[in-house]
Each structure stands twice: as structure tokens, then as C-alpha cells.
Chain A
Amino acid sequence: MLARRIIPCLDIRNGKTVKGIRFENVVDVGDPVELGARYAQEGADELVYLDITATHEGRKLFADLVERIAAHLHIPFTVGGGINDLGDADVLLSAGADKVSINSSAVREPGLIDRIARGFGTQFVVVAIDAKLEQNKWTVFVNGGRIPTEKELFSWAREAQERGAGEILFTSMNHDGTRNGFACDTLRELSSGLSIPVIASGGAGNMEHFLEVFRDGHADAALAASIFHYNEIPVPVLKDYLKRNNIVVR
């Protein structure tokens, strides 16, 4: 049986893992390679590394970091942040990344999805979507959730799939940071309208939330950050809990 995936997400700034709420109050939580290796050993199924650095120097550090991660990790990992053209994706692929995640750049230039998928395969392209429910409509935001766009979640996710996305990583801005659970109803609707896997993000606060996102939200994978970094929910404990509740995990 195909297992549901648990994916810790690490935000990277200047080569260090950091944690903040929506990029604010950022604190250093450790070496990205060590933290990643610990998660891999504990049974994390994949990792996502998100570069939140805006500077050119930071970018170079990130590419070097991706090489170190690839050399150490024996599980798949996705990298995202600041991938604006095929060349950026190529650098990260050559450094050893298994997948790239594109967000704002795909909204601005949707053809980027087609180009990366054609160049490196659909399995290499994760399209990340940050969206907020306002007046009964899921509006897609860019630039780390700061700028609203004309796009709507469901139609944008379908377009991304048609252009060659291999997975959709959906973050509900209404749920992100609340620790009150994932956007299960929306995730279920999103998942049933797509033929590619959906990764749920935003809202994890306890183990029941993961059970709900798999059982009720039909998510293929669930991503979270802070609850793993501070060891509030160790990955092995979470997996035992899910197994006991009849969710297939490895």
C-alpha cells in the first residue's frame, strides 16, 4: 500500500534553519543538514527546504547547502524559494535536489511550469500555492502571502497540473500559524479535482490534525514546521498514532 507522507519543512536564511511566523520574529533553530538527517533517521518521508534569503550571496550559500544536503540525506527532498527561471532549477537539480517548488514565479509566468516539466520531468516540479479564503473565494497570494492576485485556488491548481506540475503544495493562509488544524474541506475538494498528489500545509497543531487531514482532507502528504522543530510531536510518535488509527504510513 502507498503510504501517506509526513514532510517536515525547514526555512533557510543565510544557510541556517530559521523559524518565524510568516517570516517575522525569525530565530535560528539549527544546522539544516543535521536537522534534516535527524528527521530522516526519525522516519520523515521527505523534507522541504525553503530558501527565504533575498540576497545574491544567500542564494550561493543555498546552492552549496543543497549539495551538502544531497550528500547526507538518503530520503527525497524538495527545495524552493527564488526559482525564477529554468537556469535556477537546473542549478538545484545539478546540486542534487529531487524536486523544486515554485510559487510566485509560476503565478507571474505560468510557462515556467511547462518549461521545467519538459526539461526535467513532471516529478521534478512542485507548484506551491498560498491562498486565503475571503468572501467565499480562495484568492491566490504571492511574495510569501503578502500580495493578492487575480488567481483563484482551484482553477490555478488545475492549470498548474495541465502545464506539468507533479504535485500541488497548498498552504491555507487562514489556517497557517493557527495550530487549529488543516483546511480539510478545501483540501478534499482540491484533491478530488486533481489527478496529481496534494501536499497539505498550514494549521498543524496536534496529532489529530494529521489524522483528519489524511482521513477527511484526503491529502497525500502533510507538511509542517514548528511542531517538528521544537520536538513537540516527534515523527515516530506521530507515525505510531496514525498507524493505530488505520492510516498507512511507513
Chain B
Amino acid sequence: MGVVIIKYNAGNIRSVDYALRRLGVSAEISDDPETIRKADRVIFPGVGEAATTMRYLKERNMDTLIASLEQPVLGICLGQQLMCRWSEEHDTACIGIFDQPVRRFPAGLKVPHMGWNSLDRVRGDLFDATLKGTFVYFVHSYYVPVCEYTVAESEYMVPFSAALQKGNFYATQFHPEKSGDPGQRILSNFLRL
């Protein structure tokens, strides 16, 4: 299977590559539109800041490319946020696949929300019954509210979307590549779609 990890100015790309290799899949890391379009699966990872990253993607027309993809696409962490309509992080217009805002966590508990939190109300293709209540690894200061696309919820001061799904587009706020065995299972469910 041809898996492409989108290469852009974000961290964490290596970790996703390593996680796929542990599943026996050797992915291509690329920013070439043709390579991305032809892939069987596309992963859009990300650690970083929304405004800088969106500017980088727009300059290269990668925002429209990602929105036009027809194969299964998985956004991770900042990837999920950028697939939404708008982010409160520096008032940034995003790709808009999920017509949802991205909000900053309210003051109260510590931000970033960092560490292992449990998944609730899991549904959809990425999650099987074994993943209900399981803990996965999060690092983020912004979140997508629970909405019609939510397929897993988590809670930190407020309930938020731990994962989204709409047609061929999938996204997780947590890092499956760093979430131990459950994370490997979620990635493997994505590859098996």
C-alpha cells in the first residue's frame, strides 16, 4: 500500500514514519502534489503553530490540494485543527474540511493539555470496541468542540473532539504514533479502511 506523509514545516513527521514502520508499512514523506494525489492513504501530521503553518501551506497551494483529496486522509494534532474552518490561534483561516472553529482552552487548568487522557463515546471506522475508555497521548492548547463530525470525545475542563470523521477525512487531536498499543491499533485501523 502506498502511504504518503505530507511533508511541510511541522515537527513530528519522523515519529509518524517510525510508527508506520512498526506496523510494517514504509511510507513516503513528500510535498509533491502528484505523489500525494496518487497515494492510497495520506497522513497530515503536525506539531506547531496554526498561522505560520497555514501560510506555508497556502503559499504552496497545499491547502486546496488536501481539501480535494479523495482517498482516506488522516490529520493528526495540528493536522486536525488545520482541517477545520478557523482557529482562534492568531485568528487563522484554515482549510475548512470540517466546518468547525478551533478554540483555546479556557483559563483554569494547566495549558497545554499534556499527557494521557481517556477516550469516550468512540464510534466510526478508526475505533473498535476495544478502544472505548482507553488512554491516548495529547499535547495541545487549542481544541475542536464536540460537533456532528466527532467520533471520539475526551474532556479537559470542557468536552472536546478527540477525533473527527467526515467522508474520507479522518482526524485525531491525540498522537496515535505516541499512544502505545492503542495508538498503533488506531493507525492500523486507518490503514485497513
Contacts and interface: CB of A to CB of B under 8 A. Distances in A.
A98 B178 contact: yes
A123 B75 CA distance: 19
B18 A2 contact: no
Contacts, number: 85
Given A1-B118, A70-B18, A40 B11 contact: no
B110 A196 contact: yes
A174 to B, nearest CB: 25
A197 B111 CA distance: 8
A195 B107 CA distance: 9
Interface hub of B18, B107, B175 (most chain A Cβ within 10 A): B18
A194 B110 CA distance: 8
Contacts of B12: 98
Contact of A2 (B116, B177, B180): B116
B137 A121 contact: no
B137 A76 contact: yes
A74 to B, nearest CB: 5
A40 B180 contact: yes
B115 A2 contact: yes
A51 interface: no
B26 to A, nearest CB: 12
A71 B183 CA distance: 15
B48 interface: yes
A1 B14 contact: no
B137 A75 contact: yes
A124 B77 CA distance: 14
Contacts of A40: 180
A197 B138 CA distance: 13
B114 A197 contact: yes
Contacts of A122: 112
Interface in B1-49: 11-12, 14-15, 18-19, 21-22, 47-49
Interface string B99-125: 000000001001111111110000000
Interface of A: 1-5, 40, 45, 70-71, 74-76, 93-96, 98, 120-124, 166-167, 194-197, 220-221, 250
Given A98-B15, A220-B110, A250-B118, 7 more contacts: A2-B156, A71-B18, A93-B11, A122-B112, A124-B47, A194-B110, A220-B115
29 contacts: A1-B117, A2-B115, A2-B116, A2-B117, A4-B115, A5-B115, A40-B180, A45-B115, A70-B14, A70-B15, A71-B18, A71-B21, A74-B178, A74-B179, A75-B137, A75-B180, A93-B11, A94-B14, A98-B12, A98-B178, A121-B47, A121-B48, A123-B112, A195-B107, A197-B110, A197-B115, A220-B115, A250-B116, A250-B118
